[in-house]
Amino acid sequence: MTKENQRSTLEKMNSVIRSYSTRITGFQFVTIMALLLGIVLAIALRYCLLDFKSLDYYASLKPWYNVIKDQGFSVFSTDFSTYNPPYLYLLYLIGRFFPGIPVIIAVKLPALISDFI
């Protein structure tokens, strides 16, 4: 292969690479940065409010979690709660697989995860 053929081949390859590569425009960069800033602020806000305990926590969530953790899966055959079963099942899984987690984090964990899905 001569130098001219090599140069021609390299130029063709560069042309193909340039045609497939994408460049971030100013608008796209601003959009990406705004999205990242929003995610960081959302995480920071959730972290700051992680220890907040509402009346609902004391009246319902904490007792439900403690009953689920103490009695296990058999508690679902009783009328210990009138809340949505999938959330209660998630509380059961959290209590089962992460027994040392603080109650406030355990009851907030399903919502914290689902906020970012």
User: Closest Cα to residue 96, out of 74, 115, 117, 63?
Assistant: 74
Verify that 66 and 83 share a domain, yes or no.
Answer: yes
Looking at the structure, do residues 68 and 40 belong to the same domain, yes or no? no
**Same domain flag for 56 and 42:** no
Residues 6+ apart with CB under 8 A from 89: 76
Same-domain status, 61 and 115: yes
Which pLDDT does position 67 carry in this prediction? 94
Give the pLDDT of residue 59: 94
According to the model, what pLDDT value does residue 91 have? 94
Residues 30, 72 within the same domain: no
59, 115: one domain: yes
Domain span at residue 11? Answer: 1-48
Low-confidence ranges of the chain (pLDDT < 70): 1-3, 5-6, 16-24
pTM for the structure as a whole: 0.68
30 and 79 co-located in one domain: no
Output the pLDDT for position 18: 66
pLDDT for position 82: 86
Both 41 and 87 in one domain: the answer is no
**Distances 94 to 22, 27, 56 between C-alpha atoms, Å:** 43, 42, 19
- My answer on whether 57 and 105 are in the same domain is yes
C-alpha–C-alpha distance, residues 32 and 45, integer Å: 20
- The number of domains in the chain is 2
pLDDT at 66: 94
* Radius of gyration in angstroms for the set of CA atoms belonging to the chain, rounded to a whole number: 27
pLDDT of residue 8: 76
Question: What digits encode the pLDDT tens for the residues 44-57?
Answer: 999 999 999 999 99
